[in-house]
Chain A
Amino acid sequence: MKKVTDHITHWELLQIEKPARYLGGEVNQAQPKQNPELKICLVFPDLYELGMSNLAIKIFYETLNADPRLQAERAFSPWVDFEKLLRHKNLPLFSLETGTPLNQFDVIFVTLPYEMTFTNVLNLLDLGNIPLTWQERAEGPLVIAGGPSASNPLPVSLFMDAVVIGDGEEVIHEICEFLIEARKSGATREETRKKLTAIESVWVPQFPGKVRRRVYKGFADSAPPLKPVIPNVQAIHNRAALEIFRGCIKGCRFCNAGYYYRPKRERSVDNLVKYSQELLNNTGEESLGLLSLSTSDYCNLDELISRLDRNKLYAEQSISIPSMRMNENTLKLLDTAPHIRKGGLTFAPEAGTQKLRDIINKNITEEDIISVVKATNNSAYRTLKLYFMMGLPFETAEDIEGIADLVLRIEDISRTLKPRKQISISLSGFVPKPFTPFQWSPQASIEEFREKRIFVRQKLQNSKAKVSWREEYLCMLEAVLSRGDERVSKLILEAFKAGCKFDGWNEHFTRSGWEKAFEICQLDPQEYLQQKPIADPLPWDFVDFQVPRAYLEKEYRAAAEIAGVTDL
């Protein structure tokens, strides 16, 4: 059978930015099997460079292909130039391994890492000649989604045959096992969907019911992906990814990931050292990335780092720790390990005053930041990045002013240090996410966000700090897409029809497309952004998140109490 790529000429490929994104053939790519019992395509709804850095894709690719009955391949969102070519030539989107059109797989597993990829999912299905909604799909592959953005599955309910809530490692194999059986028994599509509901944590839009978030209890003793595909186009994170623990114990009240990945499960130092050797041996990556939500909370971090540092495989090997919460201890630790890649100093105080940081339960004080900044005098650290959110629950004008004050204070101190730090701050609008204590909170309006942002910038007009911010409309949209109900599915569909895709990419975001979609669907975004009464049911209450609603409510009340609010 001819591969789809056989229909694309050399000259056409040369018109495309980074054609190697679409051609496969990388080192460690899985070899096609003779007559596999189930053909799977793992789909990541963003560019190759991003998808090749995604941990979930690496995990599933390796474990699925280890099963002799399964063949798992990959597909990523094509960039607009390649999409144009495919559409112009009437060619379907295809997998990298065998060039097979997406509609010829038995099942498509879609990873949903962030809400802004939802229209890309529709684009991928459309390009793969797969009808967009499950009602229209009488044949062809089942489309099953999972990932943090699917924790409230309602916004994608129109498109998915099933949605997995929570950790996917075990469920994905259970689903495959089940689909093999279903094929053998000649089950109809509807029967197959019905039976999928029996698997814990699988939610089927055609047969909606209660569903429980899956927790992979065996995580601590499991092996991470040890032989990932080596990209032919440098991935966004050019490093060997080693997940050292899953979950986060910090309990920041705005953070969906903190709740989605609970509880904390750590891999042992011994195992991690062993895995790191194998991983580096199999990838040849220069840098070993220690991944988790908050790496400084790993119990034996000192020991882990010193042992990894001692067991270097090659001279230029370095360790990168992307989510390290800096304090004087971690700074000392980094200084004692010469092979740790020291990027800039990054802090996420999120709020400008201690009171608001207490409200959101962000355990970082101004003194923490300042002591670290001072301790970096005469060191190689040159840049300092601070992340803030605006529109947080119970925020006051003082808190917004506090953002600028904090930056100015740090800048003052930095003037006395060598080298002087380049400070940059990132401002983003708060998005009240489901399954967090702030799920009932309202979101500030676009105008409010804008006023706050302008205020901070004005207060910093004489400062050298670089200020960047997230487009306010995107913050609003993210809130609608994460707090949505079934009607939001229709909204996504209309936005896609209006030409929206790559919504997370500034150069492609089409606000007018979304505005048109809201209009067609007669949806008022405000409906999704307003305060939700605690007593009222929430659209996503059917998901048992393994974090009791009562606990989230208690946390919300605790936050309100700090703010002096009793009436919620």
Chain B
Amino acid sequence: MNETHEIKARVFYSKTKQACYIAHLDTIDIICKALRRLQLPYQVTQGHHVRPKISFGSPLPLGHASRCEQFVLCLESMVDDQWLKEGLSQQLPDGMDIISVELPCKEEKKGANGDLVDYTFGFTSPETAEKAGEFLSNPETTFSLVSKGRMKEYRLGQALQAINKSSDGNLQLINARFIQGKPEVPSVSKIVTALAEFLGEQKDNLVQIERVSLTKL
């Protein structure tokens, strides 16, 4: 291991199967414990409550799977990226895996203009996929959801940036690109909740909700 000053590692991980029901704060706790078990030479924060110097991407809504979660960790010294990837993967619960490690990592854009987020939705029924496609592709789609205890009206507007369909075995897939983090643009979490409501009973045919990539603008 080489001694250098501030070395940052960006770790990409996935959350699938039952792990997509682990809440964001619990995920952070699980990862911090995994880092300690690995005895990784990470830096810690200053102050009263010392913690690993680590920052996480935007929280994944509960129940969404993802193949693009990430965190950035400050290390005290260089470690082998392959060792980190494999070692950390072994320390995670079922459904969480390390996809790749960028070490040292480049600074990422701040995302001041929002994020582009790609999602894949998998349906067991072509009719439901059709119906969902119509809901998502119409910028005039409106829906109401309770926000902070009050009913609020939302319009899909420019939230959806692109959409296409494909299939994977028995699943009909909708690949959708959303823009996030802009004023008046509903979050994917809200859109998915509204979609489920729109689908009614047919929502049980929507069996896969997966965040595939996230790019800061």
Contacts and interface: CB of A to CB of B under 8 A. Distances in A.
A13 B63 contact: yes
Given A11-B196, A313-B39, A23 B18 contact: yes
Interface string B94-119: 11000000000000000000000000
Interface stretch (B3-11, B23-31, B139-147, B167-175): B23-31
Given A10-B207, A25-B94, A316 B50 contact: yes
A340 to B, nearest CB: 14
Contacts of A23: 18, 21
A314 B203 CA distance: 47
Interface in B36-71: 36-37, 39, 44, 50-52, 62-63
B58 to A, nearest CB: 19
B26 A233 contact: yes
A232 B37 contact: no
Contacts of A14: 62-63
A11 B34 CA distance: 30
B74 interface: no
B127 interface: no
Contacts of B25: 234
Contacts of A413: none
A286 B51 CA distance: 9
Main secondary structure of the interface of A (DSSP, over half): loop
Interface in A217-233: 230, 232-233
Nearest to B29: A234
A232 B33 contact: no
Contacts of B91: 27, 284
Contact of B21 (A13, A238, A284): A13
A233 B18 CA distance: 12
Contacts of A1: none
Contacts, number: 84
Given A232-B93, A284-B33, A9 B26 contact: no
Interface string A12-46: 01100011100111110100000000000000000
A510 interface: no
Interface in A279-330: 280-286, 313-316
Contact of A316 (B44, B63, B92): B44
A314 B35 CA distance: 10
Chain B interface size band reads 20 to 34
Contact of A284 (B23, B36, B50, B62): B36
A18 B36 contact: no
Contacts of A19: 21, 62-63
Given A25-B93, A27-B34, A314-B39, A233 B44 contact: no
Contacts of B209: 10
A357 B21 CA distance: 50
A489 B110 CA distance: 63
A280 B63 contact: no
Contacts of B196: 11
B84 interface: no
Nearest to B193: A14
A9 B36 contact: no
A224 B78 CA distance: 35
B27 to A, nearest CB: 9
A315 B51 CA distance: 8
Given A9-B204, A11-B203, A18 B33 contact: no
Contact of A25 (B26, B29, B34, B95): B95
Contacts of B212: none
B94 A285 contact: no
A23 B44 CA distance: 32
Given A11-B203, A20-B26, A316-B52, A230 B33 contact: yes
Contact of A11 (B17, B19, B94, B204): B204
B19 A25 contact: yes
**Most central of A232, A238, A282 by chain B CB within 10 Å:** A232
5 contacts: A14-B62, A25-B94, A27-B91, A234-B26, A316-B50
What are the 8 tightest A-B residue pairs by CB atom distance, in nearest-first order?
Answer: A25-B94, A284-B33, A284-B36, A284-B37, A23-B18, A316-B50, A19-B21, A315-B44
Given A24-B18, A27-B34, A286-B36, 13 more contacts: A10-B63, A10-B207, A19-B63, A20-B21, A23-B18, A25-B93, A27-B91, A234-B26, A281-B39, A283-B33, A283-B37, A284-B37, A316-B52
Interface of A: 5, 9-11, 13-14, 18-20, 23-27, 29, 230, 232-234, 238, 280-286, 313-316
